[in-house]
Amino acid sequence: MNPLQSRKKLLLAESELNRAQLVQECRTLAGEGRALTESARDISAIATAVATLVAGLAALRRKKCPPAAAAKPSWLQTILQGAGVVSALWSEFRAGPKA
């Protein structure tokens, strides 16, 4: 075997190694991309739940200016409004992350 043939074989072997390494790096990059996407979905789901919770709490705290002659709302109305907010929050949390 002459030096040119042996050099050619070495270059071909090196090329195959480089291809295999590139394929492995692409697979690793794709896996990291999927993990990043999953993390983004989890963060999005948490952010949505927190936003819903904050909106619900803000709705509870928001008070309308009652007319001067209007009486204070009954305890039953307050309980029903609270139950409505809790129901809305429960349905949001129970639904889980939306894909």
* Span 12-53, pLDDT tens digits: 999 999 999 999 999 999 999 999 988 888 888 888 888 888
For residue 73, give the amino acid letter.
P
pLDDT tens per residue across span 46-82:
888 888 888 877 777 776 555 555 567 677 778 878 8
- Using DSSP's 3-state secondary structure scheme, residue 28 falls into helix
Domain segments of the chain as ranges: 3-95
Close Cβ partners of 99 (under 8 Å, ≥ 6 residues apart): 41
Q: Please give the Cα distance from 60 to 8 (Å, whole number).
A: 77
For residue 18, give the amino acid letter.
N
Q: Please give the Cα distance from 84 to 90 (Å, whole number).
A: 10
